[in-house]
Amino acid sequence: MGISPFFFRRIKNRMLNRGIDKLELLRIVEAVANEKSIDKELVINSMESAIQKAALTKFGNDNDIEVKIDRSSGEITIKKVLSIVDSVEDPSKEITLKEATSFKEENKNLKVGDKLTEELPQIDFGRIAAQSAKQVINLKVKEAEKDRQYEDFIDKQGQILSGIIKRLEYGNVIMDLGRAEGVIKKDELIPREILKTGDRVKAYCYEVKKELKGHQIFLSRAHPQFLSKLFFQEVPEIYEGIIEIKSVARDPGSRAKICVNSKDTSIDPVGACVGMRGSRVQTIVNELHGEKIDIIKWTEDLPTLISESLSPAEIQKVLIDQENKRIDVILTEENLSKAIGRRGQNVRLASKLTNYEIDILTDKEDSDRRQAEFKDRTETLVKNLEVDETLAQLLVSEGFQSIEDLSQSDPDNISKIEAIDEDTAKELITRSKETIEKEKEEVGEKLKELGVEESLINLKGMTQGMLVILGQKNIKKLVDFADLSSDELIGGFDEIKGKKIRIDGYLEEFSLSREEADQLIMSAREIVFK
């Protein structure tokens, strides 16, 4: 990484021998800049710093010394700089106006605040000074190299890089990328993939980080975008923008799903990605050591897209909850194992591909669930509105799923139901509103008992049910809520000793989406930290 001894000897000789060609130093600078692929101005600046350090050692570290190497002639000038002041506090760096103007005639126009320079004699580099100069030049050149390499590779973030495996360290792979090294962490490798020193491999550059010790280039062969970029390289229509990749999901080394769409209706996106006799996709499969790839044609019709994503299972019905990004897929018992896949792989990848949480149900399970929901809703109306079971069942079957639905309805809508007159409709609305008001009062008392603060109660988007749960979990202040993460609210996964563990969320039963959870937390933080 540092400057070669050959070049430094020439620089040192130039410093020691004032009689050689003055342009020799500039030729040496250009040679160093070319060898390291850095700006020659940086090399000259590092040499000026090195000479300045040696001059301070000779003339005293208290002095303010400037060193200048002429960019045209190579001449070295060493000057002591003094600040002109009214009253001198540091004689090594300051001088009075009277003393400054008495030295030379041309100093008569100087004023307080100006700088006075005094040329110093050329210094004779001894062994220690020369060594010190070498260290400074080496340091500056290394810093320049690091900056140059960082600028080179920051533009390559998000691309596939090719290199040779240099060594293996604790399961991580160090790759020689030519002018720099990249690292593939153990968890970014394809499982069960055997790589050896000297192998040439491709990897996706997902991050270039600048640190004090130098830049770090992080690579991955398990990243979903690695698959995406491989298709970008192998399929001309993707490179040209005719076909676009909508989403990718991977179980590295085992199976992957990729969703593609064609902007030209005359081109089949799936066929183009597969290639003649599977040639294009097979090249990618070979690169990924046999990873099976499902190529799915994208469509705006979400039920169709879900059905294709869960292939080879045959789907009977798809129920979509857009608000909570959840989908219920109904199918026969025979198709259940096909849809779920080995260890849940097929449904997991389909969920990542479509960005929806997918629940797989058999037609019997769907029927049982619907009956259970119907029964629960009926019992809720019977209990809270003091109506008979037949009337409650009639209301639920007509779409009034909750007390809130009834309270927000009008008598005309309810009286349209056969066997319910207008007076009964009005009574149902009155009772539902009274029930909701009573529940609010009870919850209000409960929140007081729990000690939940008003600032949290008044947070926009927070329901009373959520507040009770939070209070029971000892989250009673707005500042406590602001410190939470979305995973703590809606649930998520944590890795403990290499295993993914499911973590329950405080408000998981309310089916909040991640966006809604994030919005609640950000609203709290804006109030707390404003």
pLDDT at 407: 86
| Residue 246 confidence (pLDDT) | 94
Residues 21 and 84 in one domain: yes
pLDDT at 1: 45
Three-state DSSP state, 175: strand
| pLDDT(292) > 90 | yes
Pick from 22-26, 148-152, 167-171: least confident? 22-26
Residue 443 has a pLDDT of 82
> What are the residue ranges of helices labelled H in 302-421?
302-309, 333-340, 345-354, 363-385, 389-397, 403-407, 411-415
Which of 126, 149, 172 is the last residue in one of the domains?
149
Same domain, 122 and 214: no
Query: Is residue 372 assigned to a domain?
Result: no
Single out the residue in 102, 134, 149 at which a domain terminates: 149
Question: Residue 387, CB half-sphere, CA atoms under 13 Å: how many?
Answer: 26
Q: Does 126 fall in a domain?
A: yes
Q: Check whether residue 206 and residue 108 sit in a common domain.
A: no
pLDDT at 154 > cutoff 90: no
CATH for 126: 3.30.1480.10
pLDDT for position 293: 93
- The token pair that represents 205 in the structure block: 């550059």
Q: What pLDDT score was predicted for residue 8?
A: 47
Amino acid occupying residue 186: K
Which stretch, 76-85, 99-108, 123-132, 221-230, has highest mean pLDDT?
221-230
- Summarised one tens digit per residue, pLDDT across range 243-281 is 999 999 999 989 999 999 999 989 999 999 999 988 999
Same domain for 174 and 139: no
Pairwise pLDDT comparison (474 vs 149), residue with the higher score: 474
Give the list of residues 6+ apart from residue 7 with CB closer than 8 angstroms, or none. Answer: 28, 31, 32, 35
pLDDT at 223 over 70: yes
Exposure string of 28-55, with b = 16+ CB inside 10 Å and e = fewer, is: bbebbbeebebebebbbebbbbbbbbbb
Residue 379 lies in a domain: no
Provide the mean pLDDT of the chain. 82
In a domain, 58, yes or no: yes
* Mean local confidence (pLDDT), 187-209: 89
- Who's near 301: CB < 8 A, 6+ residues apart? none
The total domain count for the chain is 3
253 φψ region: left (φ > 0), alpha (ψ -120 to 50), beta (else): left
439 vs 107, higher pLDDT: 439
| Domain identity same for 142 and 179 | no
| Residue 374: band (very low, low, confident or very high) from pLDDT cuts 50, 70, 90 | confident
pLDDT at position 402 is 83
Question: CA 29 to CA 23: how far, in whole Å?
Answer: 10
Q: How much is the pLDDT for 109? A: 72
Each residue's pLDDT tens digit, 479-530: 889 898 888 888 876 665 555 577 788 888 887 778 888 889 999 898 888 7
Verify that 133 and 205 share a domain, yes or no. no
- CB contact at 8 A, 222 and 173: no
Are residue 28 and residue 90 in the same domain, yes or no? yes
pLDDT surpasses 70 at 145:
no
**Residue that the structure tokens 């050591």 belong to:** 289
pLDDT at 280: 93
Give residue 132's pLDDT band: very low, low, confident or very high (50, 70, 90).
low
Q: How many CB atoms lie within 10 A of CB 449?
A: 9
- State whether 15 and 124 are in the same domain: yes
Check if the beta carbon of residue 202 is closer than 8 Å to that of residue 234. no
Identify the pLDDT of residue 231: 94
Domain containing residue 481: CATH number = 1.10.150.20
Query: Of 81-95, 158-172, 228-242, 385-399, where does mean pLDDT reach its minimum?
Result: 81-95
- Read off the pLDDT of each residue in 5-16 and give the average, rounded to a whole number: 49
Q: Show which of 109, 126, 149 is a domain's final residue.
A: 149
pLDDT at 18: 43
Q: Helix, strand, coil proportions of the chain in percent (round to 5)?
A: 50, 20, 30
pLDDT value of position 311? 87
Together in a domain, 110 and 137: yes
- One DSSP character per residue, 235-285 reads -HHHHTTSEEEEEEEEETTTEEEEEEEESSTTS-HHHHHH-GGGHHHHHHH
Backbone angles phi, psi at 247, to 5 degrees: -165, 160
Same domain, 164 and 140: no
In a domain, 122, yes or no: yes
Instruction: Determine, yes or no, domain membership for 249.
Output: no
Mean pLDDT for 12-29 is 55
Statement to judge: residues 19 and 73 lie in one domain:
yes
- What would the two tokens of residue 35 be? 């060898």
Residue 15 has pLDDT above 70, yes or no: no
Averaged pLDDT for residues 313-342: 86
Q: What pLDDT does residue 17 have?
A: 44
Q: State CA 299 to chain mean position distance.
A: 28
Planar angle of CA 463, 439, 456, nearest 5 degrees: 30
State pTM to two decimals.
Answer: 0.59
Give the per-residue pLDDT at 220: 93
Residue 58: Cβ-neighbour burial (10 angstroms; 0-12, 13-18, 19+):
middle
Residues of the domain holding 499:
451-530
Question: Within this chain, do residues 116 and 62 fall inside the same structural domain, yes or no?
Answer: yes
Q: Quick check: is 240 in a domain?
A: no
